Homo-oligomer: A and B are copies of this chain.
Amino acid sequence: MRNRSYHHGDLPAQLLARAEQTLREKGSGALSLRELARDIGVSPAAPSRHFKSKQALLDALALTGFERMADAIAASQEGVGETFAERLDAAARAYVGFAVADAALLDLMFSVKHSPEASEALSGAAHRWSELLLSLISEGQRRGEVQEGPLERVALPVFAALHGYVGLRVSGMLPPEVSENGLDDVIASILRGCRPQ
């Protein structure tokens, strides 16, 4: 009775939660729909009612990843100074922190292979995230601390540098001590790159 209602309406959430856990603990290679179903105590065919394919579940997972990342970055802005440098620093550290804590999820979020239909929902979530950084930069422009120019054009190099540092770091391309202290240099370079001339 209790078990019955337990598996009614909550299976999608259960699947996502469990998938996220094994993704974090064992990596994306160890993610199996059948094992997920087994762990939850449901038949191998059950997940297909809620996610029409394994890729659909991965897409949904990536989507929640973007939302949580946006939340983390938004939270990083609370109670921090008002200068662009301070706010960028906080956002960058939040981004890096999220990525390092959940490397496999980040990999999934920026994966090359998404089902075409998911790409729109996904870039929607990515857009919500990118708008945080865009408004941060826009505010920097308003304060005269960031160069003038079309927002997207000014923002792209900032995105690229942060995203690239994160990518290099989680893929293990950085020697340990660079991994520790490199972010400071990246942020400093970004600030020099986008300050008024």
- A residues touching B (Cβ–Cβ < 8 Å)? 27-29, 103-104, 107, 110-114, 119, 123, 126, 152-154, 156-168, 170-174, 178, 182, 185-186, 188-190, 192-194
Interface pair A107/B112, CB less than 8 Å apart:
yes
Residue in A123, A126, A168, A178 with the greatest tally of chain B CB atoms within 10 Å: A168
Q: Given contacts A123-B173, A156-B182, A156-B186, could you give 8 more A-B pairs where the C-beta distance is less than 8 Å?
A: A28-B113, A110-B173, A152-B178, A160-B160, A160-B161, A161-B164, A162-B164, A167-B167
Minimal beta-carbon separation of A153 from chain B (angstroms): 5
Residue in A103, A114, A186, A189 with the greatest tally of chain B CB atoms within 10 Å: A189
Interface pair A157/B167, CB less than 8 Å apart:
no
**CB within 8 Å for A112 and B193 given contacts A152-B178, A161-B157, A164-B161:** no
Q: Which residues of B contact A162 (CB under 8 A)?
A: 160, 164
Q: Which residues of B contact A119 (CB under 8 A)?
A: 172
**CB within 8 Å for A172 and B123 given contacts A156-B185, A157-B189, A167-B164:** yes
* Complex Cα spacing A161 to B194, Å: 13
* Complex Cα spacing A82 to B101, Å: 42
